[in-house]
Amino acid sequence: MSKAAKLTFLTSCAFAVGTIYFVHRAQDLERESMYQGVLRDQERKAQREKNIREFEETRALNAQLVQSQPDVHREGSS
């Protein structure tokens, strides 16, 4: 084989190996990015559930306080 043919072959091989490496690297980065999205979704879901729980507790306390307060309008109109 001539030197030009060897150089062309080696360049082609290096290009192919480099392309395969970068494609796999891009796939790994994309997979990691997608997994981080799943973790963020789980954190958002946990925070949402916590907020709903706190809201329900606040609503229950508010209802309890309203019931324990005297009804000023009824007492005044009697």
pLDDT in the model for residue 46: 98
Query: Could you tell me which of 62, 65, 43, 64 has the C-alpha nearest to residue 54?
Result: 62
Asked whether residue 17 is assigned to any structural domain, the reply reads: no
List the structure tokens of 13.
Answer: 């091989």
Asked whether residue 5 is assigned to any structural domain, the reply reads: no
From start to end of the chain, where are the E strands?
A: none
What are the pLDDT digits (tens) for 12-27?
Answer: 999 999 999 999 999 9
Measured CA angle at 4 (ends 3, 9), to 5 deg? 95
pLDDT at 48 over 80: yes
pLDDT at 77 over 60: no
- The total number of structural domains in the chain stands at 1
Asked whether residue 61 is assigned to any structural domain, the reply reads: yes
Asked whether residue 27 is assigned to any structural domain, the reply reads: yes
Asked whether residue 72 is assigned to any structural domain, the reply reads: no
pLDDT band at 1 (very low <50, low <70, confident <90, very high): confident
Identify the domain containing residue 47 by its residue range.
Answer: 23-67
Asked whether residue 30 is assigned to any structural domain, the reply reads: yes
Asked whether residue 57 is assigned to any structural domain, the reply reads: yes
